[in-house]
Structure 1
Amino acid sequence: MFDPIVSFFTRVFQAIGRGIGMLVAWIVWPFVAASQWYARRGWIIKGPIGIGLILLIALYGYFIWNTQRWTNFDTAYAEKYDFTAAPAGGANPQTETTDPVEGEVKTCTRSAIVDVTADLIDFNVNQNGWISSMILYKLGLFGMDWDHTPWLDNKASFQRGINQAIRRTSIELVDTLGRVRGTSQIDQNLQDARGSIAFDEETWYFGLNPFGPKTPTPSFYRSAERSLRAFNDRMQNCQVVFNARADNLMQFVDRIAGDIGSTSDLIQERSQNHNGGWFDTRADDRFWFAYGQLYGYYGILTAARHDFQQVITSRELGPLWQAVEEQMRAALNIQPFIISNGREDGWIMPTHLTTMGFYVLRVRSNLVELRQVLDR
């Protein structure tokens, strides 16, 4: 009685098997044909081609290893800083009080914000390979941008998100935090750091526009790290200042809220107009960029609580500040293996992108509330 049913399913699976076999044969045919052509050549041709293939395989191995190995990635990294420790070198921390409400101009100590920002650059380009400027990342998958594929691009987006937080912070350090008043002289170390970190994210050792050898992106970012650490060393030696006034903190928080708000808009656009579930190959880019941005700001805002401790205490901002850090920490706990951009009312595919957007908006709303309290 069941023989016709068994026979039907047997034919179906046989057809599927033949289809998969034909697909595999179509994919491997160019490689088989190339290997047969290579086997018929002499060693004068085989040698250079063989060496080239070995180098290409080695490059791909190095590239894949760097994209999959996230060295020293730690969602609780900000909690491990001891900002209350005495500064290195035995200098006595001092402050020059300007106003008990507005805050203080600090010197003869180190800025926690500057230290964390420099550490984030070190994490991006020294502890890990900078993916966006690697030659195989630039070449893509058979000419297709890796960001348009579901593979090997998550770490690059994550690093670019951290870099966005670093860039925003470097601008504020130059414009307000690293000098006493807007009319005072700009610190050269901070200016150098801002210029280096603003360099594009994709430059390799050689380029076509303009044609010729170039200094790669990671070298510029390492230069920014050195400039930031030089500023903190000079500050520790009482040569420069950090302006921890309330109006500077208000502007810093406002700029961060605006930066995060821009990312929220990108997530909303992707979530509403391209909700293809697991088949949306750009959803992971948006997700990991936002994740990296929150990862960077989590450490920077934790450091800001130390640098602006007097302002936060006098304005009774402790609970609000703690809420921002907790929201960021909660967002960093979301680490799905595959990012899905499903419909919000869907029941099969999850909505990881919408979930991340929710946390981004929560963080932004808390920052806006902080800014309003500072503005009173």
Structure 2
Amino acid sequence: MTETIWFAALGLLKLAGAALRHPSRRFVLWALAAVVLLGFPVAMLVISKIDDNPDFASPAVNGGRSRAVAVSAALITRELEGSRWRANDPFFLPGGWLRDMPAFQLGLVGGLAKLSAAMVAERGPGYGSLGPDSDLNNAAGLLKYPGTVWKFDTRTTWLPTASAEKQYRNAQRSLDRYNDYLAAGTASFERRAESLAVVLEAVIRELDDCTAAIDHHLALDPSPLLDFGVNKVFYGNKGRLYAHSIVLRELGRDFEAVLAERRQAEAWTRMVEQIAVAARLRPWMVWSGQPDSSLLPNHLTAQGYLTLRARMQAAELLAGLNIRKP
């Protein structure tokens, strides 16, 4: 296989050399190069879209459906159809050269995957008397699919394969189908304090993962001017935090009665707002300078501080939920 690739590359070089010897063909090649060099940056600016709208919501939810499940499906639809999925664009497309938007999208779907998995975990909202709901469980599994897989995944096979968009679209359909079954009364969504605590425990672990990613990157002590990985960490965390802020806001409405009963409604609102604040950070350029630098700030430490504040509030809320009624 390697020899075939080398022979193909040599053949292309020979064709390019032959074309450059003819003035008319040379002009075409130079024009094509100009289009690539000038058109790609412009196209990248046009298609790059990090949608961190804090007021994003799903259409009207009624009939016993879960607001958290509905907004999860709506977020997937928005990224696939509105923003367009860029995390798996190949190198010959402008999206393949983006960094911030793909990291944000991968983080967002990763956050949805963790929340969906928590819902079908034992004692979670989607875990009924017969075990985890099949549709919700299927969605949680599909959301774990690598978001960088295009129509071909040469790491495993040269044959066409299922793209990330296809798998995530199937996950969205499973979420909507689960909500339809809830409305029909043929599926269950346990609105108990114990079920909410299971999800909250997963949220705390996810916030810990965000800060761990920051710690790992800062431990490398990269030069601020040569740190080409800081954007991936920052926007990956931003996507995860954003997904949590939106879904948890709606989950609080699903469990409104439980939170009121345990007197934790205000604490839940504060936690969601704190996660939203952490997700809202969006500097024009991400730097990883020294924490006490006057010239180059460290946006990862700022993100980490806000994430730790949200984590502290989530831990306090979890303790409040686990308090039994007298």
- Indicate conservation of the 8 Å contact 1:267/1:286, yes or no: yes
Q: Which residue of 2 aligns with 1:158?
A: 104
Q: Which residue of 2 aligns with 1:117?
A: 72
CA deviations 1:119-151 (Å, max 9, x no partner) are: 11112222122222111289999xxxx6xxxxx
Q: Which residue of 1 aligns with 2:12?
A: none
More strand by share: 1
- Structure 1 residue corresponding to 2:22, chosen from 26, 30, 41: 41
CA distance in 2, matches of 1:239, 1:61: 51
- Structure 2 residue corresponding to 1:180, chosen from 109, 122, 128: 128
C-alpha displacement at 1:57, in angstroms? 7.6
C-alpha displacement at 1:325, in angstroms? 1.9
TM-score (ref. length: structure 1): 0.72
Is 1:255 aligned to 2:202, yes or no?
Answer: yes
Q: Which residue of 2 aligns with 1:69?
A: 49
- Indicate conservation of the 8 Å contact 2:268/2:317, yes or no: yes
SS in 1 for 2:72: helix
TM-score (ref. length: structure 2): 0.83
Return the letter of the residue paired with 2:302.
T
C-alpha displacement at 1:46, in angstroms? 7.4
Cα distance change, pair 40–64 in 1 and its aligned pair in 2 (3 A) = same
- Indicate conservation of the 8 Å contact 1:63/1:136, yes or no: no
SS in 1 for 2:237: helix
Cα distance change, pair 61–140 in 1 and its aligned pair in 2 (3 A) = closer
CA distance in 1, matches of 2:187, 2:35: 49
Cα distance change, pair 272–86 in 1 and its aligned pair in 2 (3 A) = closer
C-alpha displacement at 1:76, in angstroms? 2.1
Q: Which residue of 1 aligns with 2:135?
A: 189
- Indicate conservation of the 8 Å contact 2:61/2:67, yes or no: no
Is 1:271 aligned to 2:209, yes or no?
Answer: no
Cα distance change, pair 50–279 in 1 and its aligned pair in 2 (3 A) = closer
C-alpha displacement at 1:278, in angstroms? 4.2
- Indicate conservation of the 8 Å contact 1:60/1:136, yes or no: no
RMSD (Å) for aligned C-alpha atoms: 3.2
- Indicate conservation of the 8 Å contact 1:67/1:156, yes or no: no
Percent of residue pairs identical:
22
CA distance in 1, matches of 2:27, 2:162: 32
Larger Rg: 1
Cα distance change, pair 47–278 in 1 and its aligned pair in 2 (3 A) = closer
Return the letter of the residue paired with 2:181.
R
SS in 2 for 1:132: coil
SS in 1 for 2:191: strand
Q: Which residue of 1 aligns with 2:5?
A: none
Q: Which residue of 1 aligns with 2:230?
A: 283
Structure 1: 5+ residue stretches without partners? 1-33, 88-92, 94-108, 147-151
Return the letter of the residue paired with 2:265.
G
Return the letter of the residue paired with 2:81.
N
CA distance in 2, matches of 1:190, 1:206: 27
SS in 2 for 1:77: coil
